[in-house]
Amino acid sequence: MIVQKTIDMTRPAALYLAAIAVLILAVFIEGRLGVRLVSRGMHLPLQRTLAAGFILTSVAAGLLGAHRYAARVKAPWRVPSSQVHLSAFAFFVLGASAVLLSS
Amino acid sequence: MTHPTATLIAGGVLLFGAAGLANLYLPKPAAVIELTKASEVTAPQVAAFPKRSPALAVSRPIQPPVANTLPMVFSATDRAVQSATSDPLKSLPVKAAGPPATVNSKSTTTRTTSSLLADSTQRPLAPQRPNTVPTAAVPATAPPLDADQYALSATLGDRAWIRVGDHRTIMAKVGDSIPGLGKVTAVGTNILTLQNGQTLKVTP
């Protein structure tokens, strides 16, 4: 009996890396090149602190996603794909929110 | 986490976090170049400045400085001060300008730029005189104003309108450098904070 012990994670991994590249590119364009990605009409109290909190939470979610990704590649029958996908989704949403808040 | 792709994802996540925090808390590139004060100009810089050739001086004589007839930006307070003075040049009606709230409520334009330009074109040309202005007679740069000469007129968002010595009003925003005052670090409601800790408040 043939048992498949590995799982093809090439496509999700490419998606995660593309999301990370998009976020890093957005930060570079906004911070170093001075291009505003959103209008300047948004002024919230403690906006910078809020953006920093979003960034740290996003990094935590991303690291959790990378950990779950490695665990799923190692033993896909123990780690459901939702643990990886939801962590990656939280990383991207929180990171994009932080980029928009910091503009 | 020994998987290479997972390590790559973790590295990218950490790089994004570092770049995002640096974007938030590290100083950004200066958008405004600091103006060099006249007192800071050194002798080598003066010597390196290109001289006027004698042929150019003969063909195009140096004209003495004339009064600026173009309309300047004044606030409503400046207009009141100017109307009280007896100087005919200052008593000219000028266009009131300032933040949008001030413009909408108090602007009374009595003379436009086009009318001033029409006056200047109808004025007879002065006869050309030879170059009799010696080099030493060129007026030096005016000394920088004291900090007391600056008064905050209004703020709107991250922009502030600053009245300079009852002569003109300049607009500055966060990150701009005001000659004589320094860099603007924050603009709040009716208050402006400079890099040296000094604050300017709107005077009623």
Distance from CA of A38 to the nearest CA of B (A): 16
Per-residue model confidence (pLDDT) at position B164: 80
Residue A2 lies inside a defined structural domain of this protein = no
- Check: pTM over 0.80? Answer yes or no: no
C-alpha to C-alpha distance for B164 and B178, rounded to whole angstroms: 10
Residue A20 lies inside a defined structural domain of this protein = yes
What digits encode the pLDDT tens for the residues B21-59? Answer: 998 888 766 543 344 445 555 666 666 665 555 555 455
Distance from CA of B31 to the nearest CA of A (A): 9
Which bin fits B134, alpha (ψ -120 to 50), beta or left (φ > 0)? beta
Residue A17 lies inside a defined structural domain of this protein = yes
Residue A57 lies inside a defined structural domain of this protein = yes
Residue A48 tokens read as 């910078």
Q: Which domain holds residue A68?
A: 10-35+46-102
Least confident stretch, A21-30, A43-52, B3-12, B57-66: B57-66
What digits encode the pLDDT tens for the residues A49-100? Answer: 999 999 999 999 999 999 999 999 888 888 899 999 999 999 999 999 998 8
Residue A70 lies inside a defined structural domain of this protein = yes
C-beta atoms of B6 and A98 within 8 A: no
List Cβ<8 Å contacts ≥24 apart for B127-132.
B128/B61, B129/B61, B130/B61, B131/B57, B131/B58, B131/B61, B131/B62
Residue A98 lies inside a defined structural domain of this protein = yes
Name every residue in A having a CB less than 8 A away from some CB of B.
9, 13, 16-17, 20-21, 23-24, 27-28, 30-32, 34, 40, 43, 48, 51-52, 55-56, 58-59, 62-63, 65-67, 69-70, 73-74, 91, 95, 98-99, 102
Residue A69 lies inside a defined structural domain of this protein = yes
Residue A25 lies inside a defined structural domain of this protein = yes
B2, B17, B23 ranked by CB distance to A102: nearest: B23
* Between residues A7 and B199, the one the model is more confident about: B199
Instruction: Note the helical H segments in A32-80.
Output: 47-74
What digits encode the pLDDT tens for the residues B136-171? Answer: 555 555 555 566 778 888 888 888 888 887 777 888
Under DSSP, the state recorded for B202 is B
Total domain count for chain A?
1
C-alpha to C-alpha distance for B158 and B176, rounded to whole angstroms: 11
What is the ipTM for the molecules in this complex?
0.86
C-alpha to C-alpha distance for B12 and B107, rounded to whole angstroms: 55
Per-residue model confidence (pLDDT) at position A46: 82
Per-residue model confidence (pLDDT) at position A29: 85
